[in-house]
Structure 1
Amino acid sequence: MNIRFVLSLLILSTFSLVSCTNQDDNHKTSDNQRVESEEVATSITITIPLQDSKGKQMAMANLTQKQDGVHINVTSSSLPTGEHGFHFHEIGKCEGPDFTSAGDHFNPMNQQHGHQDDHQSHAGDLPNIRSNEEKMTNETIIAKHVSLLPGKKNTLLDEDGSALIIHEQPDDYTTQPSGNAGARMACGSISS
């Protein structure tokens, strides 16, 4: 009897150990799948040429979705020297000559205009970009309040898309509703 009892305990212990190991493996697989799906969701990249009203390319922007927001790398060799307002606008249409087809600043949360570090600013408000004396620009900006992920309230890829616009003047981050940044100099359409 003692041998049967010991064997029964040994079989039960082995079964329990195998069961726990399988549960741990399933849990690890679930965690790995979650990490992989987050990586897939945050690996969206879109390249956008920004053109003037005559169709000449003024700049190029690469937008990449990451966990802390949309990273924008903007490069140019033809922007006028100085600072320029830089914003996401609400509609993905870049019709010249003034690009008003792109609508107002992207503002799904209905906030006031300001600097993107203000919690009360438009989602599309971005820091000014700078062009040096050789008209060269190469900057990376993190847009913390927008997304390239579909279905989000702050996605740039909604039904009518959005636009990225460079203005002639710098944004003062104060004047309502658009920062007194002057005319829209270059526009790039963002759509899925």
Structure 2
Amino acid sequence: MKIPIVILVSLITMYVNVSSKTEPVKKEPVEKAVCVLLSPFNSVNGLITFEKLVKGIQVTGKISGLDTGPHALHIHEKGDIRDPKCLTVGGHFNPLHKQHGALEDKVRHMGDLGNINADEQGIAVFSFVDKQLLLEGPNSIIGRSLVVHSKIDDLGRGNTLESKTTGASGERIACGVIGYA
């Protein structure tokens, strides 16, 4: 029995389409993210984790190689860290277009994480809960960068334009991409 070529091609196509269907991939909720900070031009390095809790995101980290004292910590828009001075990471992550502020302020950039404090050995150990950060959805911090700055963040309380946009926090001294843990 000869089967016309059109019917044969149709049967093969139906078989391939039916047999290649797979179950939709179930997306697991993101519970944890991590960022490794490295700087090619100084000795700053660290490890920061972001863990989902009922009350927000627990941010825990240890950064070494810092000058003694406070340093601003921000999440920036892009995860493009190919520039050694972290100049390709964009501005502060601010999807809701708010003014710069402190971690506990309701009006602040989503990426404003305040200050960390380095001890006499240049080590900053910190842990806090942030109620605005997200690990999922269009405003997720996954794929964005975490940046440590050279100066204290004035939390938008200064009388300059720089204070209202960046907290007058100085140069970017280390950065890393936030990824799935």
Answer whether TM exceeds 0.5 for this pair. Answer: yes
- How far, CA to CA, are the matches of 1:57 and 1:133 in structure 2? 14
| CA–CA separation in structure 2 for the residues paired with 1:55 and 1:191 | 23
Kept after mapping to 2: 8 A contact 1:53/1:96: no
Where does structure 1 differ by over 6 angstroms across 4 or more consecutive aligned residues?
Answer: none
* Structure 1 runs not aligned, ≥5 long: 1-39
* Structure 2 equivalent of residue 186 of structure 1: 174
Give 1:97 shift: 2.9
Q: In the aligned structure 2, how far is the partner of 1:77 from the partner of 1:85?
A: 14
Q: Is the 8 A contact 1:145 1:154 kept in 2?
A: no
Percent of residue pairs bearing the same amino acid type: 30
Q: Using the alignment, how far apart are the partners of 1:130 and 1:137 within structure 2? A: 5
Residue matched to 1:172: 154
Determine which structure has the larger helix proportion and give its number. 1
Q: How far apart in 2 are the matches of 1:62 and 1:188?
A: 12
Higher relative contact order (CA 8 A, sep 6+): 2
- Counterpart in 1 of 2:20? none
What SS class does the counterpart of residue 112 from structure 2 fall into? coil
Q: What pairs up with 1:1-192 in 2 under 5 angstroms?
A: 41=29, 44-54=31-41, 58-149=45-136, 151=137, 153-157=138-142, 161-174=143-156, 175-192=163-180
Q: Which has the higher strand share?
A: 2
Q: Supply the distance in 1 between the matched residues of 2:114 and 2:34 (Cα, whole angstroms).
A: 19
Normalising by structure 1, we get a TM-score of 0.70
How far apart, CA to CA, are the structure 2 residues paired with 1:118 and 1:84? 18
- 8 A Cα contact 1:165 1:187, kept in partner: yes
How far does residue 55 in structure 1 lie from its aligned partner after superposition?
Answer: 8.1
Counterpart of 1:177 in 2: which secondary structure? helix
Query: Between Structure 1 and Structure 2, whose CA radius of gyration is higher?
Result: 1
Per-residue CA deviation, residues 74-118 of structure 1 (Å, 9 max, x unaligned), is 102322111000011111111223212111111111101111221
RMSD: 1.9
